[in-house]
Amino acid sequence: MTYPVLRQSLLAFGSGFGASRLLGGARANLSAGKTGIARHRAMGGALVASCLLTWDSVAAQSPSDSEKIERLERQTELMREQMNRQNDLITALQKEVARTKKKPEKKETEMAKRSEPSVSSVNSNPSEPSVAPKPEEPPPYVPTRAEVIRGTQPAISTPVAKFPGVQFSVWGWLEAATVFRNHNSVNDMLTVFAAIPYPNSPLYKEHEFHGSARQSQLSFLAEGNMDAAQKLSAYIETDFLGVGQESNYLITNDWAPRLRHGYLTYDNDNWGFHLLAGQQWSMAIPQEFGIVPRKELIPLTINANYLPGYQFTDNWQIRLVKDFDKQVWLGLSLENPATNLAPGIPDTVNGLAINVTNTGTGGFLNKVPVTPNQAPDLIEKVAWDPSWGHLEWLAMQRFFTDNTLCVTAAPTGCALGTASQKTSFGASAGGNFFVRVIPHYLEVMGGVMYGTGLGRYGAGALPDVTIGPDGSLVPLTALHAWAGIQYYPWEGLILYGYAGLEQNRASYFSTFGYGNPVFDNSGCMTPTADSFATGTSATCVADNKRLADAKIGFWQDLYKGRMGRFVVGAELEYLKRTSFPGIGGVVSTDNLIAFTSLRYYY
């Protein structure tokens, strides 16, 4: 081989030396060994270049042939030794790159082995549960402003304590409220709509002012997850609108706490099944979502009795609910019965003595009349939750019972001395709606209910039944309707307006019944010595035909933060009461009522 040919071969070798030598081992780990490979490639090129320079310098001296051959052999041997050292360095680099790659893989393998039990450990300890990663808890529910004002959800979404399996939450509000009525009803914060005074009463010429903290409320919730799908809960809610034997209005203002709600629930999300047992809002109450406790559509009023036409009671009940993907709900509730009797039911009618109430004894409504009831009220509901709101339809069946004794054979032809238990049936149906017209800004809502024996379930508390000619109880036909609007113009302010109506149909015979046109209404508009002394008069029967109400109000946040919410509210209400026609015609009265409230929600 001549010198020029050998020189060109070495130049080609030097330019491709690093790549041809390193491709096999380093290509798979290019990112890990890129810097080292480049370094050694440069070293290989420099080595060949130095050899060529040396060779060129030797060749330039033009020594003898023997000396050239000798020098060339020495240079070749030197180059071979340097190439061997270069090969050793490249091999070491490849091993280092391989070790660098295997370390994280080994750590990942070890972590995987630690997170899963080995086959031997599972076989040797079959009773020990495997270690599974703990699922992430969902973020806490953030209640709406309306839910906080209603008191159905806490202002601070932080549990008080959490023990193994059970979480406890406490919330509520403290209130300093006032009420002013144009005509005195002696009602404090809860207006009895059906009893506002007629002009013959001394109350009509009196104004009424009260300050009260009795609507302050305390709620306690305990929740336990049986597993990922099953949950048990217990809930108690109380306020101080009860009146006890020691309550007084003169010095200490002692007021008894009362049980608003006390119930347990069982929820199974796999089955879509929900059970509620205890005292809770009747299932007849409108809902904002589903058929779910603490998701009721309660008006934001300061008036603790809300408005006529609105359906609600607090009842003991057994409630069964089935949901279909939290979109469609079916509910059945068996609820504690009670009967709201029309005024003026006589002791005897058509030769029959009537027993329609019994006096409570012991620890149950001591010395208070209690109606006999044979079966629970039945309520069925279907609800649908589209993205824009909530719709629901419901039906109700009720049973009304009294006892009669035949004391005179005429005119019914009954056998003297025989007693008879008589039960009549009432049924009604209706629905409610809640629509987010502009989400987070404007909501409209309302409902209607129509049927017989409906009175007790309306806020106006018109009667359920009156007496019939055979001594049985006759359910009264009633219409209940209400509507409302809630507007949130900016953060912290709620404006609301509601209107409602309750109306009964007359039912009568001879000189008995409800709404009888032979009843005397002539004394309702003029006070007399008798009416001024007692507030009532024999010449002012005036059975209620209709209650109508309209109100507006607001709630404004003064503070909202980690300590809860501090709010101020005011409400203006107009209420009208109208009688059935009688002797002296139709009579009516009204009342203008103003409320204020300062509340701290915690």
What residue spans define the domains of the chain? 3-107, 146-601
Express as a percent the part of the chain with pLDDT over 70: 81
In 420-577, which residue ranges form alpha helices assigned H by DSSP?
A: 529-534
Strands (E), 439-505: 442-452, 465-467, 473-475, 477-487, 493-504
Confidence at residue 101, expressed as pLDDT on a 0 to 100 scale: 57
Q: Where are the beta strands (DSSP E) in 347-492?
A: 348-349, 352-355, 358-359, 369-370, 377-384, 389-406, 419-438, 442-452, 465-467, 473-475, 477-487
Which residues lie below 8 Å from residue 284, measured CB to CB, with a gap of 6+?
311, 312, 313, 379, 394, 396, 449, 457
Tell me the per-residue pLDDT of 235-262, one tens digit each, with 9 for 90 and over: 999 999 998 777 888 888 889 999 999 9
pLDDT mean over 107-119: 42
Split at pLDDT 50, 70, 90, the class of 102 is: low
User: Pick from 334, 375, 355, 582: which is nearest to 473 by CA?
Assistant: 355
The CATH code that applies to domain 146-601 is: 2.40.160.10
**Mean pLDDT, all residues of the chain:** 85
Quick: pLDDT tens for 251-293.
888 899 999 999 999 999 999 999 999 999 999 999 999 999 9
pTM of the model: 0.76
User: Residue 450, exposed/middle/buried by CB under 10 A (0-12, 13-18, 19+)?
Assistant: middle
**Residue 287 burial class via C-beta count within 10 angstroms: exposed 0-12, middle 13-18, buried 19 and up:** buried
Q: Kindly state the average pLDDT of the residues 504-515.
A: 96
Per-residue CA distances from 268 to 140, 234, 558 (Å): 20, 15, 40
User: Is the confidence at residue 116, as pLDDT, over 70?
Assistant: no
How far is Cα 173 from Cα 161, in angstroms, rounded to an integer?
19
Residue 411: asked if its preceding bond is cis (omega within 30°), the reply is yes
Sole residue written with tokens 């501090």: 566
